[in-house]
A and B are shown apart, each in its own frame.
Chain A
Amino acid sequence: MKSNTPMLERAGLVAGLVAGLGALAPRPADAGAFPYPVSQETLKNGLRVLFVPMASPGLAAYYTAVRTGSRNEIEAGHTGFAHFFEHMMFRGTKANPNFDGKMAEFGWHNNAFTSDDQTVYTDFGPASRLGDVIALEADRFRNLSYAEPAFRTEALAVLGEYNKSAAAPWLKLEETLAGTAFTKHTYRHTTLGYLADIQAMPGKYAYSKKFHQRFYRPDNCIVIVVGDYDRAAVLAQIETHYGAWSGKADQPKIPVEPAQTAERRAAVAWPHPTMPRVLMGYKVPAAADHKADATLDVVYDYLFGETGSLHKTLVLEKQIAEPFQAWSQAHRDPGLWAVLGTGKAPEHLPEIERAVDAAIAELQAGHIDEAQLARIKSNQRYSLILELEDPESVAEQLAWTVSVTGELDAIDRYMAALDALTPADVAAFARERLVPAGRTVVTLTQATTEVKK
């Protein structure tokens, strides 16, 4: 599974590159790889509910994934709206005007995050108040209500989020990569959106009401309940509170990205002292192609991870680079898989690029150490067990994978694909996908520095 890279959350940008969860691993094949039992129910209105019981005395996580993110922002001038709307979801209803206050009374920790393909509402707290949380969540999904002044004020908080993020080079790098690699698809703008669109958000009150109607529908949502609770009681509560929710989600026609035929490059001149960076993004299949997804994770660890060949030579031996960072997230549509290289000096960037090219050429030639491939698979297996220790981490992993792929057993499928992967598969993928014609390269250096290729 890929790392849940740049995503935005109401109470904080999950800054830049999150280390790959790197965490997925098989139990016996017949049982599937996911370390906890999962079952599901689908309500008549199309709302899907995943149940994951686990030993977490007295605690439960309640996540709601909406399969709408910045991918859905097809209308000009409305980039960043999915994320903005996530903020509005905390503005209450007629019955519960103070959502935050209610959650605080329940003793529950709650937040949300938005990414390219989904918006996820995250609740974690004492299971004794799970029933109250279910009622409150259902109420806001069905009956969200806010006045225009509150809407305009919240737009300023989003602008504040943009300003906070703009102080570091990550946002500019991400904007440049997306805008260069994509020409048609909505992945060409970031989840935060263009600054001009954010500044115009206060005037989009009517549009926001329509947005709720279009996308916050039961058939577009997946509820995930993890932890220590009574399944039958929880299902009954969900049926009670969500059962009358109706409507079908809009399925916008997302522009199809034309095939890329030549390498694209862009350079960012950063006005402040900064580490020089090179971001290399390749066009890759959607996450539902589990074999491709697993292959990319293998390639990352094989070349760039802490035991990767390029880490060894460039970071530890030559010391011209800092550790690489995965800059990729699972995507619903074919998207980008990117790796960020950080040079110790601007003149190191071309050498880093050449080393990456040479290492990928080795993969394409089939020079792949089978023992290392086995170590990567082992790492993924144990990571899955060691990383998913509490309801919150389990719910987040599930929300991410299930909402992107639409498959409730996506993790099992991914692990099965990983287990079956051979060196020949990796080589074939590298020949097909990790090629200059499908690549976009963005460099970022301090404004006064000249970079020579």
Chain B
Amino acid sequence: MSARTRTLGRLARCVAVTLLAAACGGPAPTVAPVEAPAIAPAPAAPATAAPVVEPTLFTLPANESPAVAIRLLFRSGFADDPADAPGLTALAAQWMAEGGTRSLTAFDLKQKLYPWAARIGVDVEADMTVFTATVHRDHLAEFVPLLAEVVGSPRWEAAEFERLRRDAIDDIEKRLRSSDDENLGKRTLDQMLYPNHPYGHFAGGSVAGMKAATPDAVRAHAARVFGKARLTIGVAGGYPADLPERLKSALAGLPDGQGTTALPTAVAAPERVRIVEKDAPAVAISMGAAVAFNRTDPDFTALMVGVSAFGEHRQFHGRLMQRMREARGLNYGDYSYAEHFTQEPGGTFPAVNIARRQQTFTIWVRPVQPGDAVFALRLALHEYDALLKDGLTDAEVKTAAQFLEGYTQLWAKNPQRRLGMALDDAFYGTPDRLAKFRAGLAGLTAAQVNAALRKHLPPVERLSIVLVAKDAAGLRDALISSKPSPKTYASEKPADLLAVDAVVAVRPFGLAPEAIRIVPVDQLF
């Protein structure tokens, strides 16, 4: 805790999210919401009393570790932001986590936690906000009331509000728009996939929204979304048996809060391609579509394997990585995602507690040289098309399944992750999901995987595409004209690769002028 890294990652997590665009010129397709089962509420109170709202308790078996992991998970997130005040949930959560408590200033709170190396943090996603805490059991007795104050009795100090609000504005103006082109592409894709939808804005809000935010509005919003009705208290690690009840008691003063509201149907922006115009040294590419499946689907095991074989995040066995980076040296990495994905801080595993009620399929092509952008986009689309039409080989499916058999075991490497994953399982109603997933790998065939990919993934014509580029007009013209984009190499390439290139270089985009929209970067967020 001796230094803080930038906070953008906490609010705007890392990877692409996308929503489908309409086929060019046609009506925008729609995707029905997938409502996940709610975490079961606590049993109702006796009939004669007014309904008592209580948080849900969730524990993993205690172990011998000296570390105790706590996750206070609210089924609230930036999807709860008022339509005219984006970013309110995240600002409220930050103000609570960093701004001190009724009895301690922000600085005094840090001083109190510091000698213990105890940590309290918060992450805000679309449908989940989680206050995370790790503490040594030596300090648990003193720590629990402090944590309860952070969540239940924040200090709501005006000076901290101003500091955090200004940070949020700087994060957009001086970071996201300016020096984080890959995230810029992903967050723009969110906007394309979810216009007029609670998922369609940046978690950190907008410059205008942050400037208009008031302390009163944020406090009132917090009371609505951070109440007991949406809270699950999760505990893991080497905790004493009475800890869950102690936490529940300490948090009894939380407002009841309001229940969640239903999501509308996702309808993508009408254009197929959005080009963010800015002085970028390379071209960042993200694409994707909203999908009607999630991990509760019986086909999800097959989909997870298939998407891994196509482009597992930050791994090298996927087709996209092998063919775009390893064989052609086009860029630094190329990946695909069967559901909304964020990389855990400091690692490559999927972050936990980013579960969503509606899901996306996305592809992330890391920045390419401007002169290669059209070819790289064509190649990614070609590969995706081929994935759906021709499918994966037996060997590819076998390798991906073997990889996931081991790799998914690592995701449970520490108590915080184990607890987070179990809470996600509760959200979706998929207990022991990964154990069942691994069991389901046995006997999985390429035919099953290919059938699942064809059944559930959007056709290439439904992918919305975001490009972050300096020469937006030139890029637009190249896409509309479908002018060939032959690729040359400084080194010898095999004949079969060059044969594919010849096909890729003339692949038509089929885009009418109105299917491409250029947006200057300073008009975003």
Interface residue ranges, A against B (CB under 8 Å): 3, 11-12, 16-20, 22-23, 55-56, 58-59, 90, 100-101, 103-109, 111, 124-126, 129, 148-149, 151-157, 159-161, 163-164, 166-169, 202, 271-275, 297, 300-301, 304-307, 311-312, 315-316, 319, 322-326, 344, 374-375, 378-383, 385-387, 389-392
For A23, list chain B residues within 8 Å (CB).
117
Stretch from B221-229, B378-386, B408-416 contacting the other chain: B408-416
For A157, list chain B residues within 8 Å (CB).
325-326, 329, 331-332
CB nearest to A169 among chain B residues: B179
- Given A12-B348, A160-B330, also A325-B115 (CB < 8 A): no
- Given A20-B2, A107-B403, also A166-B281 (CB < 8 A): yes
Stretch from B19-27, B123-131, B364-372 contacting the other chain: B364-372
Interface residue ranges, B against A (CB under 8 Å): 1-6, 64-67, 106-107, 110-111, 114-119, 134-136, 138, 159-160, 162-163, 166-167, 170, 173-175, 177-182, 279-282, 314-317, 322, 325-333, 346, 348, 366-369, 399-400, 402-407, 409-410, 413-415, 489-493
User: Are B3 and A319 in contact, with the CB atoms below 8 A?
Assistant: no
CB nearest to B111 among chain A residues: A307
CB nearest to B99 among chain A residues: A316
CA distance A323 to B107 in the complex (A): 12
Overall SS of chain B's interface: mixed
For B413, list chain A residues within 8 Å (CB).
56, 59, 389-392
User: Are B399 and A126 in contact, with the CB atoms below 8 A?
Assistant: no
For A90, list chain B residues within 8 Å (CB).
316
CB nearest to B65 among chain A residues: A389
CA distance A324 to B6 in the complex (A): 10
Query: Within the complex, which residue of A153, A168, A380 is in contact with B491, where a contact is CB–CB below 8 Å?
Result: A153
User: Are B115 and A167 in contact, with the CB atoms below 8 A?
Assistant: no
Query: Within the complex, which residue of A167, A322, A390 is in contact with B179, where a contact is CB–CB below 8 Å?
Result: A167
Query: Within the complex, which residue of B117, B181, B348 is in contact with A167, where a contact is CB–CB below 8 Å?
Result: B181
Tell me the minimal C-beta distance from B397 to chain A in angstroms: 12
CA distance A452 to B282 in the complex (A): 33
For A306, list chain B residues within 8 Å (CB).
1-2, 4, 110, 114
Tell me the minimal C-beta distance from A108 to chain B in angstroms: 6
CA distance A344 to B165 in the complex (A): 12
A-B pairs with beta carbons under 8 Å apart, 20 shown: A11-B314, A19-B4, A22-B1, A107-B403, A107-B405, A107-B409, A109-B348, A156-B328, A157-B332, A160-B282, A164-B332, A272-B178, A274-B178, A306-B114, A316-B160, A316-B163, A323-B3, A379-B2, A379-B115, A386-B135
Query: Within the complex, which residue of A104, A107, A323 is in contact with B4, where a contact is CB–CB below 8 Å?
Result: A323
User: Are B178 and A105 in contact, with the CB atoms below 8 A?
Assistant: no
Query: Within the complex, which residue of B2, B174, B348 is in contact with A305, where a contact is CB–CB below 8 Å?
Result: B2
CB nearest to B173 among chain A residues: A273
For A148, list chain B residues within 8 Å (CB).
491
For A169, list chain B residues within 8 Å (CB).
179
User: Are A153 and B406 in contact, with the CB atoms below 8 A?
Assistant: no
User: Are A160 and B329 in contact, with the CB atoms below 8 A?
Assistant: yes
- Given A148-B491, A163-B282, A274-B178, also A325-B403 (CB < 8 A): no
For A380, list chain B residues within 8 Å (CB).
117
For B1, list chain A residues within 8 Å (CB).
19, 22, 305-306, 379, 383
For A375, list chain B residues within 8 Å (CB).
111, 114-115
Tell me the minimal C-beta distance from A187 to chain B in angstroms: 21
CA distance A22 to B492 in the complex (A): 48
CB nearest to A11 among chain B residues: B314
For B181, list chain A residues within 8 Å (CB).
167
Query: Within the complex, which residue of B65, B160, B316, B329 is in contact with A155, where a contact is CB–CB below 8 Å?
Result: B329
CA distance A125 to B115 in the complex (A): 34
CA distance A237 to B333 in the complex (A): 34
User: Are A160 and B367 in contact, with the CB atoms below 8 A?
Assistant: yes
User: Are A153 and B329 in contact, with the CB atoms below 8 A?
Assistant: yes
User: Are A22 and B2 in contact, with the CB atoms below 8 A?
Assistant: yes
CB nearest to B335 among chain A residues: A11
User: Are B175 and A275 in contact, with the CB atoms below 8 A?
Assistant: yes
For A17, list chain B residues within 8 Å (CB).
3, 5
- Given A58-B409, A160-B331, A379-B117, also A111-B348 (CB < 8 A): yes
For B314, list chain A residues within 8 Å (CB).
11-12, 111
Q: Which 6 A-B pairs have the closest CB atoms?
A: A107-B406, A156-B329, A152-B491, A382-B117, A100-B316, A104-B317
User: Are B4 and A273 in contact, with the CB atoms below 8 A?
Assistant: no
For A18, list chain B residues within 8 Å (CB).
5, 346
- Given A18-B5, A163-B281, A385-B136, also A125-B406 (CB < 8 A): yes
- Given A107-B403, A156-B330, also A19-B5 (CB < 8 A): yes
User: Are B4 and A275 in contact, with the CB atoms below 8 A?
Assistant: no
User: Are B174 and A273 in contact, with the CB atoms below 8 A?
Assistant: yes
Tell me the minimal C-beta distance from B378 to chain A in angstroms: 18
Tell me the minimal C-beta distance from B519 to chain A in angstroms: 17
CA distance A56 to B65 in the complex (A): 11
- Given A274-B178, A344-B170, also A386-B400 (CB < 8 A): no
For A383, list chain B residues within 8 Å (CB).
1, 117
CA distance A125 to B408 in the complex (A): 9
CA distance A311 to B114 in the complex (A): 14
Query: Within the complex, which residue of B3, B316, B404 is in contact with A304, where a contact is CB–CB below 8 Å?
Result: B3
User: Are A301 and B174 in contact, with the CB atoms below 8 A?
Assistant: no
User: Are A105 and B167 in contact, with the CB atoms below 8 A?
Assistant: no
CB nearest to A5 among chain B residues: B3
If A105-B402, A378-B117 are given as contacts, then 4 extra A-B residue pairs at C-beta distance below 8 Å, sorted by A number, are: A20-B2, A153-B329, A164-B367, A385-B67
User: Are A272 and B279 in contact, with the CB atoms below 8 A?
Assistant: yes
User: Are A386 and B410 in contact, with the CB atoms below 8 A?
Assistant: no
CA distance A101 to B315 in the complex (A): 10
For B333, list chain A residues within 8 Å (CB).
11-12
CA distance A304 to B2 in the complex (A): 8
- Given A156-B329, A202-B490, also A305-B409 (CB < 8 A): no
CA distance A20 to B136 in the complex (A): 19
- Given A124-B410, A305-B2, A306-B1, also A386-B175 (CB < 8 A): no
User: Are A101 and B107 in contact, with the CB atoms below 8 A?
Assistant: no
CA distance A326 to B2 in the complex (A): 8
For B410, list chain A residues within 8 Å (CB).
59, 109, 124-125, 392
Tell me the minimal C-beta distance from A282 to chain B in angstroms: 16
Tell me the minimal C-beta distance from B39 to chain A in angstroms: 26
Tell me the minimal C-beta distance from A103 to chain B in angstroms: 8
CA distance A373 to B181 in the complex (A): 41
CA distance A111 to B490 in the complex (A): 27
User: Are B282 and A325 in contact, with the CB atoms below 8 A?
Assistant: no
For B67, list chain A residues within 8 Å (CB).
385-386, 389
For A324, list chain B residues within 8 Å (CB).
3
For A11, list chain B residues within 8 Å (CB).
314-316, 333, 348
CB nearest to B366 among chain A residues: A164
User: Are B107 and A307 in contact, with the CB atoms below 8 A?
Assistant: yes
CA distance A316 to B3 in the complex (A): 15
Tell me the minimal C-beta distance from B251 to chain A in angstroms: 23
